[in-house]
Amino acid sequence: MELKTLSEFLKYSEWANGELLRASRSLSDAQLDQPFDMGRGCLRRTFIHIHAGEHVWLQRWQARTETPWPNEKEKDSVEVISTQFAGTYAERATFLSNIQSGDLGKLVTYRDSKGSLFKATLGEMMMQGILHSTHHRAQAVNMLRRAADTLVELDYMMWVRKPV
């Protein structure tokens, strides 16, 4: 995988997360916390989890000790969660500006939040961060449709396609 491609998917991921959050801003607490038998159990917890995953994978890419996962039962507003995403995106942009394509094959050793030691290439870890979010966004789209009858189109082509 090329750095340019990974960076493109990370930009798409940022856009897609933003679309979901924008579509959810007017939801009530009852809608955000409506229980579902999928993913993290409700839309709010899924948003918190997506952000936590992106933040934790960034720390792992940097071989930093990761901070504990947040309590997904918190009642953070969509606005607060959006602000948290923005901070992670700014930190990620700085990280990406300091790596080269050759860095993707380098082994990175990291400890997860339980203290277990792992090793993987930076490229593999970046791909995991992208796929983790994609998986949970699909769940969030489904929850949003059910909780608020709101359809959000997150297809990659919706992001890249330009009107003619």
**DSSP of 80-111, one letter per residue?**
HHHHHHHHHHHHHHHHHHT--GGGGGSEEEEE
Cβ pair 31, 113 in contact under 8 A: no
Please answer whether residues 51 and 148 qualify as being in contact, where contact means their C-beta atoms are separated by less than 8 angstroms.
no
User: At 88, is the pLDDT very low, low, confident or very high (cuts 50, 70, 90)?
Assistant: very high
Give residue for tokens 């933003």. 18
Could you tell me the residue ranges of all domains in the chain?
Answer: 3-160
Number of residues that make up the chain: 164
- Measured CA to CA, the distance from residue 130 to residue 102 in angstroms comes to 19
**What was the pLDDT predicted at 151?**
87
Most confident listed range (3-17, 53-67, 103-117) = 3-17
pLDDT tens sequence across 1-47: 799 999 999 999 999 999 999 999 999 999 999 999 998 999 999 99
State whether residue 27 is helix, strand or coil: coil
CA-based Rg of the chain, rounded to a whole angstrom?
16
Q: Among residues of the chain, what percentage have pLDDT more than 70?
A: 98
Q: Is the pLDDT of residue 164 over 70?
A: no
Asked if the model's pLDDT at residue 71 lies above 80, the reply is no
Say whether 116 sits in a helix, a strand or coil: coil
If we measure between CA atoms, which residue out of 83, 82, 86, 92 comes closest to residue 57?
A: 92
Lowest mean pLDDT among 4-8, 62-66, 117-121: 62-66
How many Cβ atoms from other residues are within 10 Å of residue 13's Cβ?
Answer: 23
Q: Is the per-residue pLDDT at 101 higher than 80?
A: yes
User: What is the predicted pLDDT for the residue at 128?
Assistant: 94
3 φ/ψ sector (left φ>0, alpha ψ -120 to 50, else beta) = alpha
pTM to 2 decimal places: 0.92
Q: Which CATH architecture has domain 3-160?
A: Up-down Bundle (1.20)
Q: What is the DSSP string of 34-82?
A: ---SSTTSSHHHHHHHHHHHHHHHHHHHTTPPPPPPP-TT----HHHHH
Provide the percentage of residues in the chain whose pLDDT is more than 90: 77
pLDDT of residue 112: 82
- The region of weakest confidence among 64-73, 78-87, 154-163 is 64-73
